Structures are given as structure tokens and as C-alpha cells.
Structure 1
Amino acid sequence: MSLHKQLWISILAMMSAAFIGSFFVSSLSAKYYLEEQLFRSNIDNVTSIALSLSQTADDHMTSELVINSQFDIGHYQFIKLDFVDGSSINVEADNSDFKEAPKWLMKLFPISIQPGIAQVNDGWKQIGTLSLSSQTRFGYKQLWNNTKRLTYYFLAVSVLCGIIGSLLLKIIIRPLNRTVEHAQAIGERRFITTQEPRTTEFKEVVRSMNKLSAHVRKMLDDESKKLDSWRKDMQHDTITGILNREPVLGHLRAYLQNDDDSAYGALITIRISDLFSLNKTEGRQTMDAMLKRFGAVLQRECEDRVSGKAVAGRLNGSDFLIIIPGDNVPPESGKEILTMLLQVCRELGLPNVKLLGSCTSYHFGETISTLLTRLDSVLESAGNNDTDSCIYVPSRVVSENERTEKVDWNGLLQSALNDKRLTLERFPVVSISNRLMHYETPARLQCENGQLLMAGEFMPHISRLGLAPQLDLVVVELALDMIVKQGEHIGINLSAGLLSDLGAIRQLVDMLERFGNKVELLWLEVPEFGVFQNLERFRYLCQLLKPLRCVIGIEHVSQEVTRIGELHDLGLDYVKIDRSLIHDIDTSVPYQVFLRGFCTILHSIGLKAIAEGVTTEAEWEALKKLGIDGGTGTFFPKDFKE
């Protein structure tokens, strides 16, 4: 029962008790007062009438007329004259139609009046005895009117006290409301902190919950930093600070298998010619300093890329690999990076350092060995050139630009979005208990000729034209239709661009609010780079979506482990771990250690850990032992049955 109801019940109980007490006290007081006043009136009236009758004592007829006239003009219950000879004159009121007061009141407070008595004399001779009693119905009427006035008074006072009490209660329990919201947030795995209220009783509760949230936050920060430090030691080159060979190739492998805007891009290789001789001539410390500067330049260049997915790594002592998803002009990017590295050499006074470069485009479905062979094939010939250059190697796959170079992408995409010419393909996400968690549903765009384009083919143009929020809204609408028709859990990927559009976020929330309870079957996920590039806007999105009870998560998580603690107050439901950390997990002991620790951190704040890109049974069995809650990938058939 709410405090407001308890307050009203308390006020009503208190006022009822006060009313009952006041009612009895005031009614008894009024009763005794009326009885006394009516008795005095009886004495005065009987004396006056007796004097009048003394003048007509010998004439019974006249006496009767006097008594009747007095009865008619007065308010009497009865008037009775008893003569000494035994005869009498008696006039009584008819009380059969008594409506001045309810019967229960008359029974509860009966008005009992002693009659007035006087002697009727003719000189010194007694003629008879006169008795009368005033009418009580007017006393009951007065008593009933007093009761009604008292009732109205107490009702008015009760309502006024209730209203004032409710207003005061709102002020008093305002800190309690914040405390309840704080407790609910913790229950939803959002470990927030709130300002301590002034109320002493609430202050202790809020202080304790703030300590809990702070403890969880500190624990997450400490564990995340330890885990990220261990990841960097495992994945990053100690000199350059960028990724080692296996991690950077893992990212490339993931991009080649992802059906999204990272499905194609630029691949650039930079080689330091004859690094062994340079170590001897220039000194190892000098060359290490150069390599460290190279790593910083490449890292900064990757961070500056709009996609947020570019990575750089050191393949061996002298070779560097840079992956830039969504870049369709590798020669320009390759030349730009090579120029920046040559500038580092000049700044360090190393004119003898020669850099060789090659670049190409990668596409969805290609293999790593094919791409590296393509790049290596021209590096040797580049070494024969006297000038530093980055040689472009055309892809043997028909590039997306070549295949669709005459396409009016703006017109095609606008038309497809307006006509909703999009379909959703289903891929199962399976729990470790072999139950379906939800279906991933990447979008496919249908051209006017019926051809279906994969997300990797049109998503770069969607992003370039700023249509990502509009696409997200259409995809959400299609997913909701699918939920209505099939009644299954459906997951969709929201773009990072949605977080930059407040209007689109509001439209999304309005659409989900209109959908009703079935929105609980909708799983929404945002890529890791989008979340941490615009964390406050993502926080705002979560605040709007959580009351709707849809499921919220982050996908492609791999690089921002150290910032997982910043998600403690968002109330997320799950995290999808990038396929670059999942590949060959059954044989990679370091990655197993990392993944086990990562799952422990996620579980500590109530998040489910889902593995992306599971390809073999061995990987799946290993993941089950590491604490993974579910997985998705080619290992699970599209027609998965529980």
C-alpha cells in the first residue's frame, strides 16, 4: 500500500475517531441543554395557562376552549387538566409523522422532559391540576441539525488535512522516491549514484547504495584495467605499441567474414627495407625510437578514421599492416601513410631509411593468404625503385566500385528506403543450453531489378550519404512486423549514426511505445566503436529504451575492454564479443585466459556474453567452458532447431 493511501487512511481513522468522540460529547451536551430549557419552558407555560384558567374555572366548556387555543398556538406534546371531581381535559400531539430527525438519533439520544405542573384555583378553592410538556420534535430537529453541521465540519477538515498532508508528504517522500529509483536501478544492473537526502533515515540508505555502486564501479575499473593490460601485453608489440601479427590478422579475418560496412576496404603494407643493416649502422636504440614513432603515427591515423574500425599491426620486424574498412581509394591512403612515416624519418635524421609500400582492396569472402600474397608480390619489385612509393595492386575480385560505378546510389537508396524495399535475413543466436536466444537479422537491399545487395555493398554509401538513421528506422519497422507475424525474438543492428540524430532516436522510441508489450521480443545492439565514440548519447538512448523492456546490447566488442566499467549504470542486457577474439579459441591458451576473465567481468554486472563468429564445434565447446552464454556464426545452421 502506498504512503499516500496510508496517509489518507490514517487521516480518516483519526478524524473518524475525533468525530465520533465529538459527536457523542456535543450531542449529549445538546440533549441535556435542551431538556433543561424545555423543562423551564414547561414551568413558565403551565403557570401562565393556569392563571388564565383560574378566571374560567367554573365553566368546563370555556376551560376546554382555552386549553385547545393554547395548544394550537404553542408547541406542546400534551396539555392536561385534571378536575377535583375526577373529570379531565386532555389534548395530545400526533407524533406519527415525525420526520425532523432519524429514528436512530432519537433512540441514541432520547430527550426526556419533566412536565410542568400547576394548580388551578378559584380564589382559595382548588379546581384542578394542570400539567403540560413542550413538544420534543423541535429539540430533536435542533439536535439533528447540530449533528449535520458537525459532520460537514469534520468532512471539510478531513479533506483539507488530507490535501495538506498529501502535499507535505510529496515533499517529505521526495528523497524516498529517489531512493526507490536508485534501488530499482541497482535491480536493473545500473549501478548509479545519487545525492544524499537531508532526511536522516533516507540518508543512511542512499549512502549505503552509493557505496555499493562505487564499489562495483571501482571493481569493474580495476578488473577491466588488469584485463586490458593483459590483453595489450598479449596482443600488442612491445616497441611500437600496435597489434602483433596474429591479432591484426584476426581483425582482418573478422572483416572478411562480416556482412556489414567493414566487408570491404583498403589494405596497406609498409616495409622497412634492410632493417637488419640499419640496426647495425644507425644503432638499435635509434631504430627502436623510430619504430616507436611509427607505431604512434599509425595508431593516431587509425583513430582519426571516421569508421572507427581501422587497425594497424606489426607483421614482423620490418613489415606493418594497416586495415582501413570502408576505404575505396587505397592508393591515396597508402601514399598518405607512407608520407607521414617518411616525415618521421626526416625528423629523426635518418635519410638512409627506405620504406616500401603496397596497397590493395579487400572484399568480403577473400582469404588472408591471398591478400598477403598479393601485397608481397610487389614489395620486392618496389625495392628496385630509387624513390619511396606505395604501389597499388588491383584486386582480382570485381570491386564494388567497378561493379556499381554507374549506380546512382543516392537515388537507389532513397527509393529503397521510401518504398521499404528491404528484407531481413535470419541467423540464429544459440545459448549454451542449445536454446534459441534470438535471430540476428542483417538487412538486404532489393534493387528495382530484383537483385539483393548485402549490407557490405550498400552500407558504406548509406553512411556517406547520412542515411543510416533512416535505414535503422525502416529496419526496426520490418523487425517489428516480423515479431508480429512469427512471435520470435528478433535482433537488429543499430548504426553508430543513429546516436548522432536526436530526432531519429525520438522516432525510434515513439515507434516502440506504440508497439506495446511485444517490444520485449526485440533485441537492439549498437557497435562498440559507436558506443564509446558517443557514450553520453548512448546513455540517453538506454534511458529511453529500458522502460519499454526491449533488450539492449553492444556488438563487436574487443578493443574497449578497459572502458567496460563505464557501462555499469546503463542497464545493458548483453555483449557480443568480436570474432577476432573467438577464432581458434580452442587452441589459443592466452585468449582463453582473457576471455574467461572478460566473461567474469560481464557476469558481475549482469550482462550475458555472446560469442560472434563461431565456426567449429571445438570452438563452441571451448567457449562453453570459458563462461560464454551464447554464440552465433556459421557453426549454427540457419534452420536451427532446439
Structure 2
Amino acid sequence: MTLYRQIAILVSFVFLILLSTILLVSFSIVRESAKKELYENAQNSVSSLSISISSTEATQGAIETMINASFDNGNYERITFVDIDEKVKYERTKEINNSNIPAWFEEIVEFELPVAKAKLSSGWQVIGTLEILNNRSVTYFQLYNIMMSMVMYLGIACIVFLLILSYVFHVILRPLLDIEKQAQAVMKDEFVIQEKMPWTKEFKAVIESINAMVRKFESIFKTASDTLTENKELLYNDNVMKIANRRYFILKATEYLTDENGKNYGSTIIMSVKKADVLNQVLGYQSTDKLLFEFAQFLKEEVQNYSDAIVCRINGTEIVVMLPKIYMQDIKSILDKIVQYINDKLEELKLNKEEFGLDIGVCEYEPQHNMSELFSLVDYALAQAKLLPSGHYYELLNNKVAIAKERWRQIILDGFKNDSFEIMYRKVVDTFTKVKRHNVVSFALNSNNESYFYGTLIAPVVELGMVQDVYLYVIKKVLLSNDSQNDIPLTIQISSQFIEDEDTYEKLKKLFRTHQHEVKKEIIFEIPESVINKHFENSQHYIKLFKEFGFGFGINSFMAYGEDYNYLKELKPAFVKADKQYILDAQQNINVLKIVLDSLGIELIATGVNDLDEIESLNQKGIKVVAGMVVDKI
């Protein structure tokens, strides 16, 4: 209960007691006054009537006549003539009628009234006593009206007073609402500064204290964020060519090769500068560096239209270009342009084409490849390229037996028709408590006694432009799933192709609206960091949609390669998932990242963890939640 409401209830209670006391005391005074007045009036009446009777012959008939006249013209309950022997000689009575007042009020207000008496004489002889009792029903009715008026006016006064008091309290306690909002924002790890200061000294001190704490946390976040950005330049960029380095290539290639996205197939171009040491002697180090820089910028321009392409310098003489979702047959134009560019530069510099230039190899990588296999393919392609004459490139052909596109389309359509998509889960575990944090959703397609798992299936799905259809189908299946582990959250990893599709948003929103009351478990949607950096507004649109329907949001494939990290403060993901290679790669960078995430209340989860030794190293860095093959060993 709020302080305002507590004070309002207390003041209302006190004021109610006060009004009740005033009403009770005032009514008691009025009641006693009415009772006294009623008796005095009766006494005056009996005195007047006795004098009138005494002035006559005071016979029995005259007495009765006078009593009848007074009774009929007055408002009396009883008039009695009693002789000197206390015998009632004559009496007139009237039944009390209290029908015009409530019974409960009559019980409260009813009182006994003393009988007014006067001696009746004939000449000098006392012949009896005259008694009059006034009619109390009229007084009861008047008292009832008085009480109702008092209740009404005091009630109006009470309401006016409480309204005024409410306004005063609202003005005085308004800073408390601001303090409450700011405190709630702090609990949500949001940086909210209260600029407007109250005039109440105590409230002002509290707000200044909270503002100081928030500014401190915001300063820590900004400093850590800036440090992380600077570290990114130092850790992942080549100073000469101004492109990514070997460390970045390993992290990014590891991300691409996982089966958590649609980038686990494509082509890789490997290039090696011939006789780099001699080239440095001929041109000079500065000119050689300039030549390498210009070549790197040429490569970046050539691949800028290819989604998620990366250009990296993996050592002093070797450059690699990785093109996800692009097969070798589709990049021949790039290879030809590279060869032409090198020939033109050699002619411009008047260098021997046979002695200098580039060795160029190209190969394809597939979903089943891991990092060591990719390096083996690249090394083999480059070794073969060095055996070729200048101006040629080596293509390492893939001997896989490919399924035709239309055959794949039919397999997928049959999967929809026969509901043969199987939902599978990968565990994410807390290494301290051994408790599952959530299950990551994956899927496979069973067709003709053969199972096509995600890594194999996603490439043809992307090629056929069926990412939206497959993901919407799987999401619906997950939303309606009802298994025995409803208490364990599920996470669904969203690919870049799904978000980039223009009409996906409306279809997803319609799906959520249709089945929002059928969802029986907590569901979290994951978006890769690269997608958020590249399509921030679109990603933000989807994140709001997730939260609108009560779903959570997390970030995966995190590499801290953005320009800044304020988006973390704005989007507030439940967690951030990063590959264990990235986490174990640079101690200082992870420490800074932990500061950024901890200041926002965001948990860091390590993925791709395969060995128990890696868990120990991660725990030393303060990371306890992991995903990967190692979870089956815990």
C-alpha cells in the first residue's frame, strides 16, 4: 500500500471519528434541549389550564369541558385530572404515532418526559391535581430532521475537507511518486536522472542520493562501453590494411559454422602475397603498406553487397574473404576482378607479374565442417594455388552429391503437409547448480526414412527463399507444444533472413495474436548481434512485438563488434550469448564486457563449450551458464 493511501486512510479515519464525536455531542445537546423545552411547555400549559379552571365554578362538567378544549386544540399525549385521593376523575389520551421516523432512530432518541403537574382549586379548597404530558412524536420528528441536516452538512464539510487534504497531500507527496519511479527504474537497471527537485528537504536528499548513484552506474557503463569499443579496434582490426584480423576471422567463422544460423555454408577465398619481403625492399615499407591498404579497400567494396561477407588479414601475407550463403559458381566475377586488379597494379608499378602478385585459392564450406576442417580446406586451396601460373586461381571442387533445388522444395512441402518436422532441444545449463536454464529450439525434417537436421536443411531453405515459411511453421509448432517440461523456458533463434523478409512481421504478429491464449510456457526469441547492428530499427520492431505478447528477448552470436553499446541499455535483453572462443580469447575485453552487462542486469552465457576444462576457465571469468556438447557431461 502506498504512503499516500496510508495517510489518506489514517486522516479519513481520524476525521470520521472527529465528525462522529461532533455529531454525537451536538445531537445530545439538541436532544436534551428539546426534552427540557417540551417539559417547560407542558408545565406552562398545565399552569395556564389550572388557572382557567380555578377561575370557574370548577364543577366536574366544567373541568371536563376545559380539558377537552385544551386537548383538542393542543398537541398533548395525555391530560389527566386526579382528585385529592389520587383517583383519576377524568383523562384524555392520544396514541403516539412515529411512522414518519425510522424505527432505529426512535430506539436511539426515545426518552422519558416528566409529567407537568398543577394543583386545581375551587376557591380556597384544593380539589385535585391536573397532569399534562406533551406529545413526544413531534419532537422526535424534529430531532430526526435536525440530525439528518447535521449529517448532510457535516458530510459535505468532510468531503470538501478530504478533497482539500487530498490535493495538499498530492502536492506534498508528489516527489514520492517520482522517487518511486526512479527506484523502479534502478531495479530494472535503467539510468533515469530526476532533474526536478522537490522543496521538501528530506525528499530532496533522497532524490540527490539516487541521482548520484545512477550517474555513477551510467558513468561506469559509458566508460566500459567506450573501452570495449576501443578494445575492439585493438583486438580485431589490422592496423595496416584497416580490415579485420585473424582473431576476428576465427570468431566470426566459428559463428558462421554453427548450426544456429543460416550462414553455415558458402565460399572462402584465400589470397597470399608473393614474395612480400622482396616487395618491401623494392617499394619500401610505407608504399607496400599503402598498396595493401588500397587492395583491402578494393576487396571491401567488391563484397559489400554480399550479406555477412567478411574480409580479414590472417597473417602478414595472407588475406581471406568469407562469403556465407554464396557458392563458388556465383563468385567467379569477383575472382576475375581480383586477378584484373592485381595485373593492373603490377603494370602500374612496373613489377614482374611472374615474380610478384597473388596466389588465389577458393573453396566451399558446408554445414558439417568445423573450424579445423575449414582451415584444412583453405590451406589446401592455397597450396594448390601456389603451383599455378600467375594470374590464375585454384578452385577446390566439392565432391558432394547435391540434391536438386526442386527436390528439396518437394521434401520441405511434404514436411509441411505430413507434419514431419521434429522439434528438438539443446540444453543451456547453470554449471553451479546443474539446473537447466532453458532449452534452445532446433528442428529436423524426417522424409523417406531419412532425417535432415538443421545444419543440412537450412542451406536449401535459404536458397529456395523458404526461410519465412519454415520458421513460421516451427514457431507455431513450438507455441502449441505441450510437453512435460512446461516450467523450463524455450528459446527460438531467429535468423537474419527471417527478419529481413518484408512481410514477416505482419504474419508473425497474426500468428501470435491467434495463439496467444494457447501458449503454456515461457518463450524467448534470440536475435544475432550482427542482425541488430545491421538492421537495428527492424530488430527493434520485432523486439517490441515479442514483448507485447509476453515473450522474452535475448542476443546470440555476440562479439562486441558494434560501434557502441547503448542499444543494450535500450533493448534490455534477458541474456547475451557469446562463443566460448570469444570469451576465452581476451581477458581484459571480457572483464569490461562483464561490467557493461552487469550494470544493466544482463547475463552472459557461453556457447560452443565442449570440454569440462573450458567450464573451469569460464567460471574463473565469472561465467556460470553454458551451452554446447559439454552439458551432457555435467
> Could you say whether these structures have the same fold, taking a TM-score greater than 0.5 normalized by the shorter chain as the test?
yes
Map of 2:91 onto structure 1 = 91
Change over 3 Å in CA distance of 1:477–1:281 after alignment to 2: same
Q: What whole-Å deviation, never above 9, does each CA across 1:603-627 have from its counterpart, x for those lacking one?
A: 4543332221122333233223222
| Preserved CA contact (<8 Å) 2:405 2:460 | no
Q: Deviations over 1:334-376 (max 9, x none)?
A: 6179459939976996464744533332112231243214421
User: How far apart, CA to CA, are the structure 2 residues paired with 1:75 and 1:337?
Assistant: 126
| 1:354-503 pair list within 5 angstroms | 354-366=357-369, 367-385=373-391, 392-398=395-401, 402-407=402-407, 409=409, 421-433=420-432, 434-446=434-446, 449=448, 451-459=450-458, 468=467, 471-482=470-481, 484-487=483-486, 488-496=488-496, 497-498=498-499, 502-503=505-506
Secondary structure class of the residue paired with 2:576: strand
1:276 aligns with 2:277: yes
1:531 aligns with 2:550: no
Q: Structure 2: which amino acid aligns with 1:607? A: I
CA distance in 2, matches of 1:441, 1:119: 109
Aligned to 1:60: 60
- Once the two structures are superposed, residues 499-536 of structure 1 have per-residue CA deviations (whole angstroms, 9 ceiling, x without a partner) of 875535645764785357x534x343221112233445
Q: Separation in 1 of the partners of 2:179 and 2:269?
A: 55
Unpaired runs of at least 5, structure 2: none
Aligned partner letter, 1:633: G
Task: After superposition, give the CA deviation of every residue in 1:558-615 in whole Å (9 maximum; x if it has no partner).
Answer: 1427644541354433221125426xx5xxxx53554455445434543332221122
Spell out the pairing of 1:609-624 with structure 2 (5 A cutoff). Answer: 609-624=604-619
Q: Compared with structure 1, are the counterparts of its residues 602 and 65 closer, same or farther at alpha carbon in structure 2 (3 Å cutoff)?
A: same
Q: What is the distance in 1 between the residues matched to 2:463 and 2:60?
A: 123
Q: Matches of 2:506 and 2:207 in 1, distance apart?
A: 35
> Would you say the 8 A contact 2:78–2:93 is kept in 1?
yes
Matched, 1:150 2:146: no
Q: What is the distance in 2 between the residues matched to 1:87 and 1:601? A: 107
Deviates more, 1:599-608 or 1:262-271: 599-608
Is 1:591 aligned to 2:591, yes or no? Answer: no
Whether the 8 Å CA contact 2:96–2:137 is kept in 1: the answer is no
Give the TM-score taking structure 2 as reference length.
0.81
Query: After the TM superposition, which residues 151-190 of structure 1 pair with which residues of structure 2 at under 5 Å, given as runs?
Result: 151-155=151-155, 158=158, 176-177=176-177, 179-188=179-188, 190=189
Q: What are structure 1's unaligned runs of at least 5 residues?
A: none
Rounded Cα–Cα distance in structure 2 between residues aligned with 1:547 and 1:180: 24
Greater shift after overlay, 317-326 or 38-47?
A: 38-47
Which residue identity is paired with 1:361? Answer: E
Distance 1:356 1:549 in 2: 54
SS in 1 for 2:315: coil
Give the letter aligned to residue 503 of structure 1.
E
1:607 counterpart = 2:609: no
The 8 Å contact of residues 335 and 390 in structure 1, kept in 2 or not, is answered as no
Q: Is the 8 A contact 1:251 1:580 kept in 2?
A: no
Distance in 1 between residues matched to 2:155 and 2:396, nearest whole Å: 92
CA distance in 1, matches of 2:10, 2:531: 54
Structure 2 residue aligned with 1:567: 568
| 1:172-321 equivalences in 2 (<5 Å) | 176-177=176-177, 179-188=179-188, 190-193=189-192, 196-197=195-196, 199-200=198-199, 205-298=206-299, 305-306=306-307, 309-321=308-320
Q: Percent identity?
A: 20
Q: Specify the alignment match of 2:78 in structure 1.
A: 78
Q: For the structure 1 residues 45 and 247, does the alpha-carbon distance in structure 2 shift closer, same or farther, using more than 3 Å as the test?
A: same
Q: What root-mean-square deviation, in Å, do the aligned CA atoms of Structure 1 and Structure 2 show?
A: 4.4
Kindly tell me: are residues 481 and 168 of structure 1, through their superposed partners in 2, closer, same or farther at Cα, counting changes over 3 Å? farther
Q: By how many angstroms is 1:406 displaced?
A: 2.7
What are the Cα deviations for residues 464-515 of structure 1, in whole angstroms up to 9, with x where unaligned? 7776566545434433444543333432213344487553564576478535
AA in 1 matched with 2:597: L
- The structural deviation recorded for 1:194 is 5.1
CA distance in 1, matches of 2:542, 2:304: 24
SS of structure 2 residue aligned to 1:628: coil
1:286 is paired with a residue whose SS is helix
Deviations 1:241-284 (A, max 9, x none): 33333542453344334353111012112333443333233222
Structure 2 counterpart SS, 1:485:
coil
Are the aligned partners of 1:196 and 1:207 in contact in 2 as well (CA < 8 Å)?
Answer: no
The number of residue pairs the alignment matches comes to: 620
How far apart, in 1, do the equivalents of 2:164 and 2:574 lie? 43
Amino acid across the alignment from 1:322: V
- How far the C-alpha of 1:555 sits from its partner, in A, is 0.9
**Aligned-partner SS, 1:406:** helix
Flag the 1:207–1:304 CA change in 2: closer, same or farther, 3 A.
farther
Q: Secondary structure at the match of 2:192?
A: coil
